[in-house]
Structure 1
């Protein structure tokens, strides 16, 4: 049974718990106060990049906005494949592989769908360091002003705060598994 999660309400609750003003968060995210207000009320459907920006400003993992806080925790921390939290756009799908977001490390699967699909328009940074493994496909990873090509089986370390983005060079899809510490998504 899937219970719908209210992303806007979660954003509002986190913002208020951190004693941050709506105007302050909106300004740091590069959106208007009225836009953030509409997101918090559930009257606006923000882009994934906007949600990522809000998560960075609030200093919480992105998936925190998509998890039902009432869900009971499993003593053995099992996460079945069909219970994974998934964020999907036309070109990128993220799946949370970690069974508990309250850990010091987070594991994700990212699928880039279609040739030249990108994770973002420009490289973005986050405070967590990252280890990634390309399971299938071929990608270009841009870190700052430099780029590297990864083929299936290649792995890479991305330092904390290094602006980066992924671009699919495969004709269909590329699948990457990455771990981030501390959790960022």
Structure 2
């Protein structure tokens, strides 16, 4: 655990909540001297103290450690990424750009949609995710709730939760589409 980063995070949250050290100490039940030591990176707080801090700041406990990141884990090398094939590998390939080890709240996928193919026979439907798709290369059709829309390079489509959709490549060229999926705000 990086005590300096933890301290800076606590300080930032406290200031964001507009509290002085004295106000925070009174509210949390933690001594001002311990809070000061923690914020300066000199304290070694127990789990109970960290739980009191998180509760008092109204944040989940893990957010106190969010800045304590191994920066090596932020890189995803192309040669190490896994591929996802849907139905069969003749039609499309998804390149997972944000692998599980990154613990991101966002999914980033690059899809190669082969000539004269579609992403799926029927359609996709995400119940708990919102999706943004950017046509990176080529021309593609997106079908939303049974209606087809033509998209070219650089065009973007937003797909809210519960919208039936699929992508179609009617050309003789491979299309490339970047997908960003996030948890739904609904």
Contact 1:106 1:182 in 2 (8 A): no
SS of structure 1 residue aligned to 2:120:
coil
Deviation at 1:172, TM superposition (A): 1.8
Structure 2 Cα separation of the partners of residues 139 and 118 of structure 1: 10
Deviation at 1:99, TM superposition (A): 4.1
- Tell me the alpha carbon deviations over residues 92-119 of structure 1, each in whole angstroms, 9 at most, x when there is no partner: 000001144632111000111112x111
Q: Check if 1:79 corresponds to 2:76.
A: yes
Give the unaligned 5+ runs of structure 2: 1-69
Match of 2:174 in 1: 173
- Tell me the alpha carbon deviations over residues 135-176 of structure 1, each in whole angstroms, 9 at most, x when there is no partner: 111111001121111011111111111110000122121000
Match of 1:94 in 2: 94
Contact 1:114 1:173 in 2 (8 A): yes
Give the unaligned 5+ runs of structure 1: 1-72
Contact 1:138 1:149 in 2 (8 A): yes
Contact 1:125 1:164 in 2 (8 A): yes
Structure 2 Cα separation of the partners of residues 75 and 151 of structure 1: 36
Structure 2 Cα separation of the partners of residues 120 and 91 of structure 1: 9
Match of 1:158 in 2: 159
Q: How does 1:103-118 map to 2 (within 5 A)?
A: 103-115=104-116, 117-118=117-118
Q: Which has the larger radius of gyration?
A: 2
Structure 2 Cα separation of the partners of residues 179 and 87 of structure 1: 15
Structure 1 Cα separation of the partners of residues 178 and 114 of structure 2: 15
- Tell me the alpha carbon deviations over residues 6-42 of structure 1, each in whole angstroms, 9 at most, x when there is no partner: xxxxxxxxxxxxxxxxxxxxxxxxxxxxxxxxxxxxx
Contact 1:78 1:99 in 2 (8 A): no
SS of structure 1 residue aligned to 2:74:
coil
Deviation at 1:74, TM superposition (A): 6.5
Q: CA RMSD in A?
A: 1.9
Match of 1:120 in 2: 120
TM, length-normalised to structure 1: 0.55
- Higher relative contact order by CA 8 Å / sep ≥ 6: 1 or 2? 1
